[in-house]
Structure 1
Amino acid sequence: MNGQLPESPAHTDLSEAVRALKRASVLVVGDAMLDRFVYGRVLRVSPEAPIPVLSVEREVAMPGGAGNVVRNLTALGCPVAFLSVVGDDQAGSDLTALIGGQAGVEPWLLVQGGRATTTKTRYVAMGQQMLRADQENASPIHPRLADRLVRIAQDTIAATRVMVLSDYRKGVLGGDVPERLIAAAKAAGRKVVVDPKGDDYSIYAGADLVTPNRSELRDATGMSVDTELAVVDAARALRDRHGFGAVLVTRAEDGMTLIEGDAVHHFPAEAAEVHDVSGAGDTVVAVAAAALAAGLPLAVGARLANIAGGIVVGKVGTAVARDSDLLEALTPERGALRKVVSRTRAAEQAERWRQRGWRIGFTNGCFDLLHPGHVHLLEQARSWCDRLVVGLNSDSSVSKLKGPTRPVQGEAARAAVLASLATVDLVTVFEETTPSELIRLLRPDVLVKGADYRVDQVVGGELVTEWGGVVRLAELLPGNSTTATVARIRG
């Protein structure tokens, strides 16, 4: 990591500001936790008690708490140093492996013997959380471990531009640890961003930016936050009471408010559709900190953080906002081209549809010159599902399959034509010669190929049937062939 301070950009074009975030280097100190999601279906009520029985289909684990701030920073392309404490248990080992597996992260996960790693397990059916089970030890970490944490932070601060304190009140930032960390950052000339908890903000005194939500602001000040003006008055009182440089208040469906000096900036909510608010605060603090670390004006960072928050609440689970997500939000495709997405975005959208109980269909091909046979296949595929995703072979993939003279049309043109069809809900391009990895990522309920295949010949068929899906063979229209059409055109 490089401790050199980046130059501020000459202008604040938001797309350029997003690209500038990669210049940021951030130290995150705080409470790491393990987020587990157990997904399944409820088909019956237990005979043992009046409770639903969850038939488990899959489980997902990811870093939560301060670890989710790290995930969001790496999604922006920022190098990150992460300092936290875990227990000597299986959850601590799992969390350490997840953090260590992220590119661009320098992890310092200290281990305290006998301490339980904070773990939150959510049980989800049909997009609804049925139950959350927490395991944690919220007592302050051992004093000697706290001293070691502060020493490591002092050494790491100089190599980064901004320090984030992500406080979930799980013990890592207990006692005088925040005060000592802020003093070390100030001595090194580094800025401090705090995602606070509790009602005693004196422990964060002198921070450059704090990011309470509306209810946290009310608890910390004892003041009303029912109106926009009341939020401004409470934020100013909080800032003046503890010597904060600025206060960024997240206000859910009412957007965000930034108090910086004499200036007040209101940002309306950006979310077009809210699916899950889990982790949105982590996204906001990550983007704001990255912007400060990149030398951007705080108002620009707050604007980007507001957009990023709107992106993640539109995703399912504890999600992140990538730099590509921000750029797309700033320069959205219009019309049918909105359906053409990356495989990651396709997987996220498929998960949103799945959480609504919709059946996901998938088919794939080169679709070099779209003809009536293709249209007929896609119509059948869409009739067997609620949403249809089409995997499109990339140009290089088509050349490997069909020869060096193909494709006739580039992948962008082929994707645009497919996206214009009402029967197609998403198009995503894959580079491999087979769609196996894409199918594994999307987990469709229905896999469709033409009737010139047998079911046992369909790539990905075994995967789909493993998770309870089906393989369907679509009727073919005779006399339609891209290869034959190309041959006729070329004489």
Structure 2
Amino acid sequence: MDIAELSDLLDRIKGLKVLCVGDIVLDQFIYGETNRVSREAPVPILEEKRRDTMLGASGNVVRNLVSLGAKPIPVSLIGDDREGETLLSLLDADGVTRDHLVVETGRRSAMKTRFVSAGHQMLCVDRDPLAGRDGDTEARLIAAIESAAPGADAAILSDYGRGLVSRAVSQTLIKACRKAGIPVCVDPRGRDYSRYDGATVIKPNALELSEECGSTVASDDEAIAGLNAVMSGLKDTDALIVTRSSLGMTALNRDGSSFHVRSRPRPVYDVSGAGDTAISMLALALGAKASLETSMRAADLAAGLVVTKVGTATVSADELLAEARLRESGEASAKLKTRAALCDSVARWKAVGLKVGFTNGCFDILHPGHVSLLRQARAECDRLVVGLNSDASVKRLKGEGRPVNNEMSRAIVMASLESVDQIVFFDEDTPVSLIEAIKPDVYVKGADYTVEALAPLGGDAVVRHGGRIHLARLEDGHSTTEIIRRSRAGT
């Protein structure tokens, strides 16, 4: 999908309410170094350096939805133990409602602990939940689902096989969503998908599909055959999707049509939680009325990005846009950076004493006035960063019909200039947050501005962090607006 389509989709998913039904697990990562072997047994000793605790399993779906700007409504079952209290605290920290959670007296909350050294998992310890003393937990879960579904825009059923997702719970959710007219996406577990029948989408991975259909699903034809075998046992499910790691995704619709969405090859550091990220984006896109194929492309993009991170990570809308831009950048890719990558570059430059300059603009139709400004800016520093207004930002600032050239075209032209060292897009109307992030030593704008006029546009931030403002001389007779006017007038 192109950047404009993705940007529009990400705008539409903001604020969507997504009902999340499934097992929430307390994820714990213990990071350390292994430099010696135990005297008690031939095993390495992990010297603990850091311990991270986060929401896992269905809780990781909640985290992904929050990161993408949505409003998750979790329905889950936790214990009244210390781990359960930690889970509630983590939900509170993310601003997530706990109104539909069921806390069971005497229940042991589920926990997964991973021991990591040098970026590799050494050991994973599972602590399964144990039922408490309440005898009405399923009835309370069903009541919570029926209460929450009418106010949601989409729903996700994450079955992690921890005992929460019974047939009754699954079918209650699906029927409630059908009645409310919202999509429900299922991340299945185990055999017999009939308990999920009626869902909008059921999304197994390749191994899960192979177990369900009883045959391998390595090739495209095998994947489609496996999906057909499963679909034959379902009466009311709209579509099946199998995620196939580096091969992307394959979908089968109820009418028998199928298609593939291919993934872009990329380095994989950790696949933990990639399925959670994929189903989060898939459900959000469907909830925003996107087509199944568009939703899958967005989900594949999100999952492909999260596997480059360590641990059960999440992705944000800004990261997805940055990733899409890098995919389209071509020859500009060496200079075009995400905000995070730019901050790393700036830190390295400053560490060796280089002065960092910054300027920004739409640069819609590059003309000699722009080139002069950029040369003057580069003369004031050792490394020049250009903040480029995104297409959405240009349209808000300049009105309909702008930009004339899309953001990637503008970035490619900008990257060809020797005076420019790195380029970063920003979607806001002003570069204030970008300036706060990189803290340039000098901020360069044209002399048609004043220092006072620049103050609310980032000038105050530059000075506050010890930088200065430089006003570059203007080249008379050059204006993008005038070029467009003459072009339209035919003069």
Give TM-score, length-normalised by structure 1.
Answer: 0.69
Q: Secondary structure at the match of 1:304?
A: helix
For 1:216 and 1:432, how far apart are their aligned partners in 2? 43
State the match for 1:254 in structure 2.
247
8 Å contact kept, 2:25–2:111: yes
When residues 303 and 434 of structure 1 are mapped into structure 2, their CA distance, relative to the original with a 3 A threshold, is closer
For 1:292 and 1:98, how far apart are their aligned partners in 2? 27
Pairing partner for 1:342 from 339, 344, 347: 339
- Whichever residue aligns with residue 308 of structure 1, its letter is A
Please list, as runs of the form range in 1=range in 2, the aligned pairs for 1:307-322 lying within 5 A after superposition: 307-322=301-316
8 Å contact kept, 1:393–1:433: no
- Whichever residue aligns with residue 192 of structure 1, its letter is V
When residues 238 and 414 of structure 1 are mapped into structure 2, their CA distance, relative to the original with a 3 A threshold, is closer
Pairing partner for 1:158 from 146, 150, 161: 150
State the match for 1:466 in structure 2.
none
State the match for 2:205 in structure 1.
213
For 2:357 and 2:311, how far apart are their aligned partners in 1? 30
Q: Percent identity?
A: 33
State the match for 1:444 in structure 2.
none
State the match for 1:464 in structure 2.
none
Pairing partner for 2:299 from 298, 301, 305: 305
8 Å contact kept, 2:197–2:234: yes
RMSD: 3.7
8 Å contact kept, 1:364–1:393: no
Q: Secondary structure at the match of 2:233?
A: helix
For 1:120 and 1:17, how far apart are their aligned partners in 2? 34
State the match for 2:28 in structure 1.
36
- Whichever residue aligns with residue 142 of structure 2, its letter is V
For 1:100 and 1:210, how far apart are their aligned partners in 2? 30
Pairing partner for 2:436 from 431, 434, 444: 431
8 Å contact kept, 2:104–2:132: no
When residues 189 and 335 of structure 1 are mapped into structure 2, their CA distance, relative to the original with a 3 A threshold, is closer
For 2:209 and 2:223, how far apart are their aligned partners in 1? 8
Alignment pair present for 1:189 and 2:181: yes
- Whichever residue aligns with residue 81 of structure 1, its letter is I
For 1:12 and 1:249, how far apart are their aligned partners in 2? 27
State the match for 2:282 in structure 1.
288
For 1:140 and 1:88, how far apart are their aligned partners in 2? 9
Is the deviation greater in 313-322 or in 96-105?
A: 96-105
When residues 114 and 138 of structure 1 are mapped into structure 2, their CA distance, relative to the original with a 3 A threshold, is closer
When residues 363 and 222 of structure 1 are mapped into structure 2, their CA distance, relative to the original with a 3 A threshold, is closer
Q: Secondary structure at the match of 1:147?
A: helix
Structure 1 alignment gaps of length 5 or more = 1-10, 351-359, 366-373, 379-389, 396-405, 422-427, 436-481
Deviations 1:121-142 (A, max 9, x none): 1111111111111111266995
- Whichever residue aligns with residue 50 of structure 1, its letter is P
State the match for 2:273 in structure 1.
279
Displacement of 1:14:
3.1
Alignment pair present for 1:330 and 2:337: no
For 1:129 and 1:88, how far apart are their aligned partners in 2? 30
Displacement of 1:394:
8.5
Pairing partner for 1:268 from 259, 262, 266: 262
State the match for 1:122 in structure 2.
114
Deviations 1:253-312 (A, max 9, x none): 221101123331211223411000000010111111001111111110011111111001
Deviations 1:228-276 (A, max 9, x none): 1121121122123113110110011221101123331211223411000
When residues 486 and 71 of structure 1 are mapped into structure 2, their CA distance, relative to the original with a 3 A threshold, is closer
Q: Secondary structure at the match of 2:199?
A: coil
State the match for 2:104 in structure 1.
112
- In the alignment of these two chains, the number of paired residues is 382
Pairing partner for 2:89 from 97, 101, 104: 97
- Whichever residue aligns with residue 280 of structure 1, its letter is A
Please list, as runs of the form range in 1=range in 2, the aligned pairs for 1:348-367 lying within 5 A after superposition: none
For 1:92 and 1:346, how far apart are their aligned partners in 2? 39
Is the deviation greater in 279-288 or in 231-240?
A: 231-240
Q: Secondary structure at the match of 2:185?
A: strand
For 2:195 and 2:233, how far apart are their aligned partners in 1? 12
For 2:124 and 2:419, how far apart are their aligned partners in 1? 41
Structure 2 alignment gaps of length 5 or more = 360-376, 389-414, 423-432, 441-466, 474-491
Displacement of 1:13:
2.4
Q: Secondary structure at the match of 2:335?
A: helix
8 Å contact kept, 1:154–1:185: no
For 1:18 and 1:113, how far apart are their aligned partners in 2? 40
Deviations 1:61-111 (A, max 9, x none): 111100111111111111221111111221111111111211465553321
Pairing partner for 1:230 from 216, 222, 236: 222
- Whichever residue aligns with residue 91 of structure 1, its letter is E
- Whichever residue aligns with residue 298 of structure 2, its letter is L
For 1:161 and 1:203, how far apart are their aligned partners in 2? 22
State the match for 2:482 in structure 1.
none
Deviations 1:147-181 (A, max 9, x none): 11111211111111222111001111125221222
Give TM-score, length-normalised by structure 2.
Answer: 0.69
For 1:280 and 1:195, how far apart are their aligned partners in 2? 12
- Whichever residue aligns with residue 115 of structure 2, its letter is Y
8 Å contact kept, 2:358–2:387: no
For 2:434 and 2:318, how far apart are their aligned partners in 1? 16
Is the deviation greater in 409-418 or in 61-70?
A: 409-418
For 1:275 and 1:250, how far apart are their aligned partners in 2? 18
Is the deviation greater in 411-420 or in 67-76?
A: 411-420
Q: Secondary structure at the match of 1:176?
A: helix
Displacement of 1:377:
3.5
For 1:433 and 1:330, how far apart are their aligned partners in 2? 22
For 1:429 and 1:23, how far apart are their aligned partners in 2? 24
Alignment pair present for 1:245 and 2:250: no
Pairing partner for 2:38 from 25, 38, 46: 46
Displacement of 1:25:
2.1
Pairing partner for 2:11 from 11, 16, 19: 19
Deviations 1:446-467 (A, max 9, x none): xxxxxxxxxxxxxxxxxxxxxx
